[in-house]
Amino acid sequence: MKKISLLSILMVNIFLAIVLNVILFTAQRLFTTPFPAFGLFDLVSRSLDGRILTFGIDSMIGVIRFLHLGRTDTAAKLAEQLMAAGLLFVLVFLSGLVYWLLMRRLAARPSRRRSLISGLILGLVIGLPISAVAISFDRASTVQPIFSVVWLFIAFIVWGAAQGYSYHTLLPKEQLADQLSAANLSMQGIDRRTFLIRLGGATALITVIGAGLSHYLVDNTSSVAPSSDGASNLPNANDPLIPAPGTRPEYTRAKDHYRIDINAVPPNVEAATYKLDINGLVENPVQITLAEIQQNYASVDQYITMSCISNDIGGDLISTTRWTGTSMQHILDLVKPKPEATYIKILAADGFDEVVAVDAIRQDERIMLAYAWDGEPLTTAHGFPLRIHIPDHYGMKQPKWITSMEFIDSWEPGYWVRRSWDREARVKAVSVVDKVAVKNVIDGKLVPIGGIAWAGARGISRVEVKVDEGTWQQAQLRAPLSDKTWVIWRYDWPFTSGDHSFTVRCFESDGTPQIEALATSHPSGATGLQSLKATING
Ligand SMILES: Nc1nc2c(c(=O)[nH]1)N[C@H]1C(S)=C(S)[C@@H](COP(=O)(O)O)O[C@H]1N2
Ligand SMILES: [Mo]
The residues that bridge with 388 in the sheet, in sequence order, are: 369
Q: How far is the CA of 308 from the centre of ligand 2 (A)?
A: 4
Nearest 5°: phi and psi at 308? -80, 145
Q: Whose CA is nearest to atom 16 of ligand 1?
A: 260
Q: What CA–CA distance (Å, rounded) separates 264 from 113?
A: 39
C-alpha 517/C-alpha 59 separation (Å) is 21
Q: 133 near 39, Cβ under 8 Å?
A: yes
Q: For the purposes of burial, counting CB atoms within 10 Å of the CB of 517, is it exposed (0-12), middle (13-18) or buried (19 or more)?
A: exposed
Distance CA 478, CA 493 (A): 17
| CATH level 3 topology of 255-408 | Sulfite Oxidase; Chain A, domain 2 (3.90.420)
Q: Is 430-536 the same fold as 255-408?
A: no
Find the 54 Cα to ligand 2 centroid distance in Å.
11
Q: What would the mean pLDDT of 347-351 be, rounded to a whole number?
A: 97
Ligand lying closest to the C-alpha of residue 310:
2
Pairing of strands 318-327, 368-373: antiparallel
Residue 139's H or E segment, with its range, is none
Ligand nearest to the CA of 390: 1
Separation of CA 430 and ligand 2 centre (Å)? 16
State pLDDT tens for residues 8-24. Answer: 999 999 999 999 999 99
State the pTM of this model: 0.94
Which residue's alpha carbon is at the smallest distance from atom 13 of ligand 1?
395
- Position in ligand 1 atom list of the atom nearest CA 309: 14
Helix (H) or strand (E) holding 324: strand 318-327
State whether the beta carbon of 374 lies less than 6 angstroms from ligand 1.
no
- Asked if 516 and 527 count as a contact pair (C-beta separation under 8 A), the reply is yes
Among 105-114, 172-181, 321-330, the range of highest mean pLDDT: 321-330
Identify the pLDDT of residue 224.
47
Contact 127, 60 (CB under 8 A): no
Q: Give 471 Cα–ligand 2 centroid separation in angstroms.
A: 35
Helices 72-106 and 6-31 pack at an angle, to 10 degrees, of 140
Domain boundaries, the chain: 6-220, 255-408, 430-536
Whether residue 334 is predicted with pLDDT greater than 80 in this model: the reply is yes
Multiple choice CATH, 430-536, 3.40.640.10, 2.60.40.650, 1.10.40.30, 1.10.10.10: 2.60.40.650
Nearest alpha carbon, ligand 1 atom 5: 261
| Cβ neighbours around 500 below 10 Å, total | 20
Q: For 403-420, write each residue's pLDDT tens digit.
A: 999 999 999 999 999 999
Residue 457 Cα to chain centre, angstroms: 25
Distance of alpha carbon 194 from its chain centroid, rounded?
43
